[in-house]
Amino acid sequence: MLHVEGLEKRFGGLRAVDGATFRLQPGVITALIGPNGSGKTTTFDLITGNVRPNAGVVRFEGRDITGLSPWQVARLGLGRTFQLPRLFGEMTVLENMTAAVREGTLREVVHRALKLLDFVGLTAHADAPASSLSYGQRKLTELARVLMLRPRLVLLDEPFAGVNPTLARAIADRLLALQRQGTTFLVIDHDMPLVMGLAETVLVMDMGSVIAAGAPKDVRDDPRVREAYFGTARP
């Protein structure tokens, strides 16, 4: 589905992403974990064309998408959300949902938007300005909005941050339902129990590189991961 090879991004002297290499299998939910500052968000930015790499290649469904613009990448079927939600604050939640869609009648688009808002538990807020939402609600609106474009691959940057645990569990279940219908996900998150219950595969980043990849329990028990992610002392 996605093949990232030797991806590199330097900010001045800092190597934010330093040779990141990994593959995503179609139809699988993969988690991307790692300490703060390890390069996870920048990796998303490089995949989706928000930042240009200094080196490396990104292939989506066999096609080289390195250096394409964010809208070109989105139109190919690769969607993403941002760690800090990017909504139009003066527009309503429903308007935010429909703004990016170019196909279908208004009636169809609004119907679909309302279904997706129901999916994330935000029906009551459809007519509210996006600026009135809490941080967690804005994250959920972004999640619903990216699904409007029916992406085949979705990159989610900390989708559960600021979302209460009950709702987070419900959203995780809905992601699993979308996965069963064929959508592929790469999810950055820090909620380890949630990630471990959601993802079939876990990638671990440290200092700009992917240092481990595998089933959740194998990755969790990997000594390099314990050292990078948990600190050596933590059992």
How many other C-beta atoms lie within 10 A of the C-beta of residue 191?
19
Footprint of Mg ion on 30-49 (CB under 5 A): 40-41
**48 belongs to the binding site for ligand ADP (CB under 6 A):** no
Stretch that binds ligand ADP, among 32-40, 101-109, 174-182, 195-203 (CB under 6 A): 32-40
Q: Shortest gap between Cβ of 41 and ligand ADP (angstroms)?
A: 3
DSSP E strands, the chain? 2-11, 14-24, 29-33, 55-60, 63-64, 78-80, 153-157, 184-188, 201-206, 209-214
Report in angstroms how near the CB of residue 76 gets to ligand ADP at its nearest.
23
- Binding string, 56-85, against Mg ion, x = CB under 5 A? ---------------------------x--
Answer yes or no: are the C-beta atoms of 96 and 171 closer than 8 Å: no
- Rounded distance, CA 233 to CA 20, Å? 27
Rank residues 42 and 201 by Cβ distance to ligand ADP and give the closer one: 42
Distances (CA, A) of 154 to 47, 77, 103, 227: 11, 8, 19, 29
Rounded to whole angstroms, how far apart are CA atoms 114 and 2?
A: 30
159 touching ligand ADP, by CB under 6 A: no
Burial (0-12, 13-18, 19+ Cβ within 10 Å), 138: buried
Q: What is the nearest approach in angstroms of ligand ADP to the Cβ of residue 112?
A: 31
Tokens encoding 12: 């001045």
Beta-strand pair 184-188/29-33: parallel
CB of 170 to ligand ADP, least distance (A): 25
Rule CB under 6 A: is residue 40 a binding residue for ligand ADP? yes
Q: Which does residue 179 touch among ligand ADP, Mg ion, none (CB within 5 to 8 A, set by kind)?
A: none
Q: Which of residues 206-225 bind ligand ADP (CB under 6 A)?
A: none
The residues that touch ligand ADP, with contacts defined as CB under 6 A, are 11, 14, 16, 34, 36-42
The residues that touch Mg ion, with contacts defined as CB under 5 A, are 40-41, 83
